[in-house]
Structure 1
Amino acid sequence: MLAFSYKESFELLSLSGGKKVLIDWPDYPKLKMRILVAFAWCLLGAVACVCATWMVAKSLQPLFGVTLMISGLLAAAASTATIALARFSLRELLGE
C-alpha cells in the first residue's frame, strides 16, 4: 500500500501534460497537503505493522502486537483509499 500511495501521490502532484492547469487552481495547496498527509498516514501504518511483527516475533505482548498490526493496516488502507479517490476525482475534473 505504501508503494501504491507513493506512486499515485507522485503522479497526482506531477504537473505534466494536462495537469499544468492545477498549479493555477486555488485549492491546489489543499490538494497537495491532503495527499501528503494521506501518504504520512500510510507510512505510519507501515511502521506500525513492522513494529507489530517484531513484537509478535519476540513474544513481547503479542496481543497488543496483533492490535497494532490491525490498526496499522486499517490506517494504511484508509489513506490509500483516500489517494485512490483523489485520483478518480482528478480524472473527472480534467476529463481524462
Structure 2
Amino acid sequence: MQSLAKYVFNSGNIFVIGDHVSWHCGLDGSERSKIRHILLDKDPQLSRIETPCGFVEFVQIIGVCKDELKAAQKWNGLGILNILKKLPE
C-alpha cells in the first residue's frame, strides 16, 4: 500500500473504483504467488465522507491473477469485479 500511496503522491494521479494495476510481483512477497496484480473496488465497510477539501471515497485493494488483469484491460475493471463477486467462495 505504501508503494501505491507514493505513486499517487508523486504523480498527482488518483485511483478510482474499477482501476487495475499491474504489479508484476507477488502481493505477498513470494516469487511463486500467482496473485500479482490489483483491481480496485468500493470498500464495503467504509462509506464516502465529506471533508473540508472535498469527498473521500475509500477503495479496497483486490489481488488478482494475470487472467483477471488481462480481462480487466480488455473489458473493464468494474465488470470483472462484478463477475468475481458472483463466484462461489
Is the TM value for this pair above 0.5? Answer: no
TM-score range for the pair, normalised by the shorter chain length: under 0.3
Under a length normalisation based on structure 2, what TM-score does the superposition of the two structures give? 0.27
> Between Structure 1 and Structure 2, whose CA radius of gyration is higher?
1
Under a length normalisation based on structure 1, what TM-score does the superposition of the two structures give? 0.26
Q: Which has the higher helix share?
A: 1
